[in-house]
Each structure stands twice: as structure tokens, then as C-alpha cells.
């Protein structure tokens, strides 16, 4: 029997048709055990009686909304660790922010893409499975005092597998939400890995940057399609909403088993060396080095890529912009490394174009 055969998902929505659609999507493609709840109170009762592994939770419900349900579950030691994915028609940044503050680990807006829903649910399933395996092995090691090298190596490999499985699933969801990101996230990972290799001799540091750079914009899954695909200039209000993707991404990547580097990249890759970036206005070396590296890699790729709002820039124009932003947008040391290794950047660009 597969581990997923015993995986239990609680679907909570006061609308019968919404519950049916969610259950149909999941039952057609998975073997998860599904339980349905039609109100906040019945959701709490079902959580205690069924002990689900994951909750898909609507926000707008009478008497007790999804935020209150999440807050109550997070306050109880028996239910506080059950992951919650909010599924709602509310796409405004305030609702998304409140959902994450209530303990949600992901946020999907209606109407949802079935494949995106499956990708993001499956990501949490994988995380749940691997975390249980890790917990079991840690208990076994503690009880038997088996601190052997091969066990440590196995645990390290498993943590890597968790990261890769999560990254693969989240990358898939991100690509579904933003059609421009396919090769972009691959190139940014390679560019960031190249800069990290030239910046540091720490092999683990370089490996992790290459691994987690692909999730720099994963928070965009919390931004509405209409905003992401807007071909014109943003209004001030739209720009503030777009900026929230760094918060959403950091929240999604702040979990046991995921190195802090992942959340740092997601949250701080739009900070600037001179302190004029967002979301916290950090400057110079107060910005984590992994975010400084990804910032340069991300901008280089964005400048050289055709988007709905612009044509791709020439390498000559890209180099001029990056040189002008040395000590403003970018870490001066990283700009120097970029120019010293420009041929390698071009080879990566050709490979993933």
C-alpha cells in the first residue's frame, strides 16, 4: 500500500458545489482519503475526530469564517501542525496576508487551475510523508543511540530529497501561474549558482543557492493572473499588491526542514544595495548574500528576455545597465564577478533559451 493511500484531506466550504468540484478534482487524480465539512464548526469537529493530514479551507463562511477556523486549530496542540491551504475567491493582498498570518501555508484563488491545485496539494503530501519518515528515524536514533555515519548520511540525503520534491512541485505551480517563468527560473538558478561558485569556496552554500534560487518568485502564486499578466504600467496600488509576492514566498518557505536561505531569497531578492528596494529597504551587507546574488541573476535574465511589456535587450545594453547600477541596485563585488565571467553567463543563456 502506498503511503498516499492513507493520506487524509479535509475539504471545508459552505458551498456544496465548491466542495463537490474540489473532491472531484482530487479523487480523479489521487487516492487520498477525503472528508467534507460544510461549516467552520463542523470543520473543527472533523479535524479532531478525523485528524486529517491537510486541510483545504474556504474563507468566506457564515458564523465562523476560515480565518477563525485556522486560528482555533493553530491554538490547539493537537491540531496546530496540520497544514492549511486557503482556497477562496478573495484575491486582494489584505486577504492573502491575513490568511498567512492565520497559519496558512498556501493560498489558492478561485476559479483555480486543477493542475495547479494538484501540484500544490501534492507538494504538501510529499512534505508530510518525508517529515514523518524523518521524525520516525530521529526517534529510532534517539531510542537506540545509533549515531552511525551511514544513518547521518541517509538523513542528509532525505532532507535533500524533501527540498527537491518541494521545489519541483512549487516550480510546477509557479509555471502554471505565470507562463513567462518556465526557462526563467532555470536560468536564474544557473546564473546564481555561477556567481555563488565565484564568490565562495563553500560547496554546500553554492549547492543550496543553485537549488533555492528557482523559488525566488514562488510567492507570485498568491498574485492574481490579471495583475501578473498586465501589459501596462502598474498603478501605485497595483505595485504595492505586486510587492507582496516576496512576503507570500517567504511564508511558503518558512517551515521545518527548509533552510532559511530559501525564505531569504524569496523575501529579499528585490532589496537594493543602496537601500531603495523592497520589502524592508535593507542596504548593503544587511541584505543576505544569497538574495544579493539572486537579485543580479534575476535582473540579468529579465533584461535579456522578451516579455509582454518589452522586447529583449541586447547584451551591450544589459551590460551598460548593470554597470550603471553597480553600488546602487547591485553589490559592487558581484557586478565585478559578473563581468569577469560574462562568457559563462552567455553559455548558460544559450543552453536554456
pLDDT at 150: 55
Amino acid 348: pLDDT: 93
First-to-last CA distance in the chain? 42
- The span from the CA of 146 to the CA of 117, in Å, is 40
For the segment 116-130, the average pLDDT, to the nearest whole number, is: 83
* 192 contacts: CB under 8 Å, gap ≥ 6: 209, 210, 213, 293, 294, 297
pLDDT at 289 over 70: yes
- Side by side, the strands of the sheet bearing 8-12 are 33-37, 8-12, 54-57, 84-88, 106-109
**Whole-angstrom Cα distance, residue 276 to residue 41?**
46
CA-to-CA separations, 214 to 137, 153, 254, 261, 327, in angstroms, rounded:
29, 25, 16, 12, 25
pLDDT of residue 153: 53
Q: Mind listing the pLDDT tens digit for each residue in 209-260? A: 988 898 888 888 777 777 777 767 788 888 898 899 999 889 888 877 678 9
* 171, 173, 176, 181 alpha-carbon torsion, rounded to 10°: -30
- 98 and 58 Cβ atoms separated by less than 8 Å: no
Q: How far is CA 231 from CA 202, 226, 270, 304, 307, in A?
A: 41, 10, 20, 17, 9
Return the domain boundaries, the chain.
3-112, 114-176, 178-352
Q: What is the dihedral of CA 220, 224, 229, 234, to 10 degrees?
A: -90
State the Rg of the chain over Cα: 22
- Please say if the pLDDT value at position 292 is more than 90: yes
| 175: confidence class by pLDDT, cuts 50, 70, 90 | very low
Q: What angle do CA 228, 255, 163 make, to 5 degrees?
A: 80
How far lies 91's CA from each of 29, 105, 108, 215, in Å? 26, 16, 9, 21
Q: Does the domain at residues 178-352 carry the CATH identifier 1.10.287.110? A: no
In this model, does residue 161 exceed pLDDT 90?
A: no
Count of beta carbons in the 10 Å neighbourhood of residue 224? 18
**Contact (Cβ atoms closer than 8 angstroms) between residue 195 and residue 297:** yes
**DSSP one-letter code for 234:** P
Residue 136 scores a pLDDT above 60:
yes
- pLDDT computed for residue 1 by the predictor: 40
| CATH topology assigned to domain 3-112 | Rossmann fold (3.40.50)
The pLDDT value recorded for residue 89 is 86
Q: Do residues 57 and 84 make contact, with C-beta atoms less than 8 angstroms apart?
A: yes
Amino acid at each position: 500500500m502506498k503511503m498516499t493511500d492513507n493520506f487524509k484531506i479535509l475539504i471545508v466550504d459552505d458551498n456544496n458545489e465548491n466542495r463537490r468540484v474540489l473532491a472531484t478534482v482530487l479523487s480523479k487524480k489521487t487516492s487520498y482519503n477525503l472528508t467534507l465539512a460544510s461549516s467552520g464548526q463542523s470543520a473543527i469537529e472533523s479535524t479532531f475526530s478525523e485528524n486529517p493530514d491537510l486541510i483545504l479551507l474556504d474563507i468566506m463562511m457564515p458564523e465562523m469564517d476560515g480565518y477563525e477556523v485556522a486560528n482555533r486549530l493553530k491554538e490547539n496542540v493537537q491540531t496546530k501542525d496540520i497544514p492549511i491551504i486557503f482556497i477562496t475567491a478573495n484575491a486582494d493582498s489584505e486577504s492573502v496576508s491575513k490568511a498567512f498570518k492565520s497559519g496558512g501555508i498556501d493560498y489558492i484563488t478561485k476559479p483555480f487551475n486543477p493542475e495547479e491545485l494538484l501540484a500544490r496539494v501534492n507538494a504538501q503530501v510529499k512534505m508530510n510523508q518525508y517529515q514523518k519518515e524523518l521524525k520516525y528515524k530521529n526517534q529510532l536514533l534517539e531510542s537506540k543511540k545509533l549515531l552511525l555515519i551511514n544513518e547521518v548520511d541517509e538523513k542528509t540525503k532525505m532532507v535533500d530529497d524533501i527540498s527537491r520534491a518541494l521545489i519541483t512541485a512549487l516550480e510546477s505551480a509557479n509555471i502554471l501561474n505565470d507562463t513567462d517563468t518556465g526557462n526563467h527560473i532555470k536560468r536564474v538558478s544557473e546564473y546564481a549558482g555561477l556567481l555563488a561558485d565565484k564568490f565562495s569556496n563553500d560547496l554546500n552554500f553554492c549547492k543550496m543557492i543553485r537549488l533555492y534560487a528557482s523559488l525566488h518568485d514562488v510567492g507570485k502564486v498568491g498574485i492574481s493572473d490579471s495583475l501578473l499578466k498586465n501589459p501596462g504600467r502598474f498603478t501605485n496600488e497595483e505595485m504595492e499588491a505586486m510587492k507582496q509576492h516576496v512576503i507570500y514566498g517567504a511564508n511558503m518557505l518558512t517551515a521545518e526542514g527548509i533552510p532559511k536561505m530559501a525564505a531569504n531569497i524569496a523575501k529579499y531578492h528585490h532589496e537594493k544595495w543602496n537601500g531603495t528596494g523592497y520589502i524592508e529597504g535593507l542596504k548593503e551587507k544587511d541584505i543576505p548574500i544569497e538574495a544579493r546574488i539572486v537579485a543580479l541573476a534575476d535582473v540579468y535574465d529579465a533584461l535579456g528576455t522578451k516579455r509582454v511589456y518589452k522586447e529583449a535587450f541586447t547584451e551591450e545594453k544589459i551590460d551598460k545597465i548593470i554597470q550603471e547600477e553597480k553600488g546602487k541596485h547591485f553589490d559592487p563585488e558581484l557586478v565585478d564577478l559578473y563581468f569577469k565571467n560574462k562568457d559563462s553567463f552567455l553559455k548558460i543563456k544559450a543552453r536554456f533559451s
